Structure 1
């Protein structure tokens, strides 16, 4: 993992242009996308017209070992009604944690079927003391990889493996 992060970091520090995407491996940033999704919050509002559920206040979502927290999360259901979650749209201090890896952003959209999380707005991913940041970070929870685009910034600690 360090080699991939080092390459991304060298490219980023070498003057990567805005909009240039970098792909990195996160190792522990994975989730069992077939596991049930548990949501807790201070309040819930169901919008019958759209079939969405809006959770607000101290929202915590868990799926397997992955945890996502935010101020507000809208649960978008797929075909079959409320038995099948299609996506989660989180906003307000979004934090995603899986194993040693953590990510933060202003907003995150999690497509449950594909296992893809898109973090936007001052997105940052950390593993230990290493940091990777960009305007947009797309994390694939199935294979533990991510793509960072926008103004990419990386801080790598010497001697980490």
Structure 2
């Protein structure tokens, strides 16, 4: 798989981990929005992708990983039933490393773990052009140690560091552990 595609997948995972580290505080809000500071991305660690099947379709510019997809970069891990990498050829193929990644789609029970943080959703999308990550589902659950955030849609704008957890007509639920606050 192309080094560039793997690097982009790792960037999305690390960005989500940074999102989970900055909990929102208003449990009464229908939508929860938070500015993320100190967002640090790392593209220097190797990335390993495993799946039951990989299909590269140069005509449609898609690489599709299906069946028990696992992506690991350092301490960050992603699992999904299916992952589709959409790319622009720019005169090359994804297998040669010359393709530009536009979007990564995740389906069928998405699970992401980084250190003490996890996120689960039914589906996910990382738009590389706009640098926006979206996790969606009946129940999108974010945890950071004992802190839990539940909604139906998490949107993270990588450029600005803004994160928003939507309720989709219900209510956002947040459980904060007082012991998780930084010591002053």
Normalising by structure 1, report the TM-score.
Answer: 0.75
State the SS of the aligned residue for 1:95. strand
Contact 2:131 2:158 in 1 (8 A): yes
In the alignment, structure 1 segments of 5+ residues that lack a partner are none
SS of structure 1 residue aligned to 2:26 = helix
Query: Structure 1 residues 99, 93: closer, same or farther in 2, change over 3 A?
Result: same
- Give the stretch that moved more between structures: 23-32 or 135-144: 23-32
Paired residue total: 151
- For residues 128-153 of structure 1, the C-alpha deviation after alignment (integer angstroms, 9 at most, x for no partner) is 01110111011345776521012311
Which fold has the larger relative contact order, with Cα–Cα distance below 8 Å and residues 6 or more apart in sequence? Answer: 1
Please tell me the root mean square deviation across aligned C-alpha atoms, in Å.
3.1
Deviations 1:95-129 (A, max 9, x none): 12233321110000122455432000021110001
Counterpart contact for 1:54–1:74, Cα < 8 Å: yes
Distance 1:42 1:119, change over 3 A: same
Counterpart of 1:160 in structure 2 is: 180
Whichever structure has more strand as a proportion of its residues is: 1
SS in 1 for 2:179: coil
Q: Is the CA contact 1:33–1:112 (under 8 Å) kept in the aligned structure 2? A: no
Contact 1:29/1:101 (8 A) holds in 2: no
**Residues 7-156 of structure 1: pairs in structure 2 closer than 5 A:** 7-9=25-27, 11-12=28-29, 16=30, 21-24=31-34, 31-32=41-42, 38-63=48-73, 66-80=76-90, 81-82=93-94, 83-121=99-137, 122-140=139-157, 146-150=163-167, 151-156=171-176
- 2:24–2:34: 8 Å Cα contact kept in structure 1? no
What CA distance in whole angstroms lies between the structure 2 residues aligned with 1:124 and 1:116?
18
